[in-house]
Amino acid sequence: MVSRASRSRRAPPGTAPGTLIADPDAPAPEIRVITYGPDRGPEGMTRQRVASVDALPAVADRHTVYWIDIAGLGDQETIRRIGERFNLHPLALEDTLNVRQRPKVEDYDHHLFIVTRMPMDAPAAPSGAAPSGPTDGALPHDAGQLVTEQVAFFVGDGFVITFQERPGDVFEPVRTRIAKASGRIRSRGADYLAYALLDASIDSFFPLLEAYGERVEELEQEVVGRPESGHIAHIHDLKRDLLTARRTIWPQREMLNTLVREESPLVADETRIFLRDCYDHTIQLMDMIETYREVASGLVDVQLSSVSNRMNEVMKVLTMIATVFIPLTFIAGIYGMNFDPAAGPWNMPELGWRYGYPAALLSMVAIGGILLLWFRRKGWLGGRRASGGRH
């Protein structure tokens, strides 16, 4: 379902291309800048929060990588001025504000434009550092649905500009690696930084899918052990979330495949090797999603079968009870007829017998016991079917 707020972000039909329309409910942009380079040493990273576009540094040093992170898309004027400052294509800026884009990559004259998605408030992949966004280990839901956030990348010569919908992301492990000068990130260019951010956003889906896997196992145990009608709604919620994850991961795989296969002067050959590994991660995610979707689809059949079997068991017990009482009711009905024995010798002469009433009760008990023993021998009442019995 598309919310009213989402519809308001689109430009009216006939609007000129490149028109920027911000969501009035979106948070105001928060600009953070990280600069680093191989010649700066372990302490050569700078990290600052910028109050305005005018305070942004000029990208002039070819040996320095600039990461400009904008969290919040509530001010189109700020977005427009950033685009003018770094010569960003207006169509790409329009797609940045329209946060319903599919993951994709577009090659413009001076920069690459990449759109990806990450789970909102999702726990980051294990790397020794906690994400900056609020997390509680639970699955992120908005009215029962998996929520993802669009992240737009502008990758140029010596700079990476990221636009996020709101503060809080899964990029804190990357910031930690830059600060500690661990790995090769400080010795590589802006293309490797873009890879590291893409890898972090994609790896953030693994903890989510592991949580969904546990959720599938719990539902499977509940459906088999205690089938209830409410399980169907939980299974459909799970299938809907997995479908949302599939619609997110599938185009990201195609986007990464494009980055790996198409040559660009902004992406070094060494970085393509790492992008290929990131592409493999999307394939793993797709395999996990498809496996969980198949299991979830099977749970629907198991739930319906379990409920049907439970109903059959109830009907079987009721049928056996009714079957036991049918002959008893027959006997009681016969002796409930008001025929006068004194009127003739054939009018129920046993009513005058001294032991007639006990004999009728004993016959009822005997018939009921014989039926119960027969049900048990057939395997309908607790015991197993006799080995030589006929079906």
Distance CA 315, CA 321 (A): 10
- Asked if 344 and 237 sit in the same domain, the reply is no
| Residue-wise DSSP of 130-167 | --SS---SSPPEETTEE-EEEEEEEEETTEEEEEESSS
Specify the pLDDT at position 390: 45
Greater confidence (45 vs 87) lies with 87
Average pLDDT over residues 180-191: 86
Q: What percent of the chain has pLDDT over 90?
A: 33
In a domain, 212, yes or no: yes
Average pLDDT over residues 293-314: 80
Specify the pLDDT at position 192: 94
pLDDT of residue 7 exceeding 90, the answer is no
pLDDT of residue 143 exceeding 90, the answer is no
In a domain, 72, yes or no: yes
Band (pLDDT 50/70/90 cuts) for residue 284 is: very high
Final residue before a domain boundary, out of 305, 320, 348: 305
- Asked if 206 and 288 sit in the same domain, the reply is yes
- Asked if 163 and 287 sit in the same domain, the reply is yes
At 32 the three-state DSSP class reads strand
Band (pLDDT 50/70/90 cuts) for residue 3 is: very low
Q: Which residues pair with 148 in a beta bridge?
A: 119
Q: Where are the alpha helices (DSSP H) in the chain?
A: 4-8, 76-85, 90-97, 172-180, 190-203, 205-225, 231-261, 269-334, 356-377
Specify the pLDDT at position 14: 63
Distance CA 134, CA 2 (A): 25
In a domain, 386, yes or no: no
Q: Taking phi first (over 0 means left), then psi (-120 to 50 degrees means alpha), and beta for anything else, what does residue 320 get?
A: alpha
In a domain, 102, yes or no: yes
pLDDT of residue 352 exceeding 80, the answer is no
In a domain, 126, yes or no: yes
Specify the pLDDT at position 1: 38
pLDDT of residue 140 exceeding 50, the answer is no
The total domain count for the chain is: 2
Specify the pLDDT at position 263: 87
**Distance of alpha carbon 275 from the chain centroid:** 24
Distance CA 119, CA 248 (A): 9
Final residue before a domain boundary, out of 305, 324, 354: 305
Q: What percent of the chain has pLDDT over 70?
A: 85
- Asked if 51 and 154 sit in the same domain, the reply is yes
- Asked if 9 and 89 sit in the same domain, the reply is yes
- Asked if 38 and 179 sit in the same domain, the reply is yes
Task: Residue 230: give its domain's CATH number.
Answer: 3.30.460.20
Average pLDDT over residues 328-334: 83
Specify the pLDDT at position 11: 67
Average pLDDT over residues 68-84: 92
Average pLDDT over residues 138-152: 66
Band (pLDDT 50/70/90 cuts) for residue 125 is: very low
Query: Is the separation of the CB atoms in 45 and 51 below 8 Å?
Result: no
Greater confidence (280 vs 181) lies with 280
Greater confidence (300 vs 108) lies with 108
Nearest to 321 by CA among 372, 273, 370: 372
- Asked if 230 and 354 sit in the same domain, the reply is no
DSSP 272: H
- Asked if 106 and 252 sit in the same domain, the reply is yes
pLDDT of residue 137 exceeding 70, the answer is no
pLDDT of residue 106 exceeding 80, the answer is yes
Q: Which residue has the tokens 């494009």?
A: 258
Token pair listed for 326 = 């049918």
Give tens-digit pLDDT for 256-269. Answer: 999 999 888 999 99
pLDDT of residue 8 exceeding 90, the answer is no
Average pLDDT over residues 67-85: 92
Enclosing domain of residue 355: 335-377
Final residue before a domain boundary, out of 283, 305, 327: 305
For the chain, what's the residue count? 391
The Cα angle at residue 367 between residues 379 and 348, in degrees rounded to 5: 160
In a domain, 391, yes or no: no
- Asked if 372 and 299 sit in the same domain, the reply is no
- Asked if 211 and 352 sit in the same domain, the reply is no
In a domain, 382, yes or no: no
Burial of 38 (0-12, 13-18, 19+ CB in 10 A): middle
Specify the pLDDT at position 114: 95
Q: Where are the alpha helices (DSSP H) in 75-204?
A: 76-85, 90-97, 172-180, 190-203
- Asked if 18 and 77 sit in the same domain, the reply is yes
pLDDT of residue 346 exceeding 70, the answer is yes
Band (pLDDT 50/70/90 cuts) for residue 282 is: very high
Q: Which residue has the tokens 């992406």?
A: 267
pLDDT of residue 305 exceeding 80, the answer is no
Band (pLDDT 50/70/90 cuts) for residue 128 is: very low
Give tens-digit pLDDT for 357-375. Answer: 888 888 888 988 888 888 8
**Distance of alpha carbon 73 from the chain centroid:** 25
- Asked if 43 and 117 sit in the same domain, the reply is yes
Nearest to 149 by CA among 323, 27, 291, 306: 27
Specify the pLDDT at position 2: 39
Give tens-digit pLDDT for 18-74. Answer: 778 888 888 999 999 999 987 655 567 888 998 888 888 887 677 789 999 999 998
Average pLDDT over residues 122-126: 41
In a domain, 119, yes or no: yes
Average pLDDT, the chain: 81
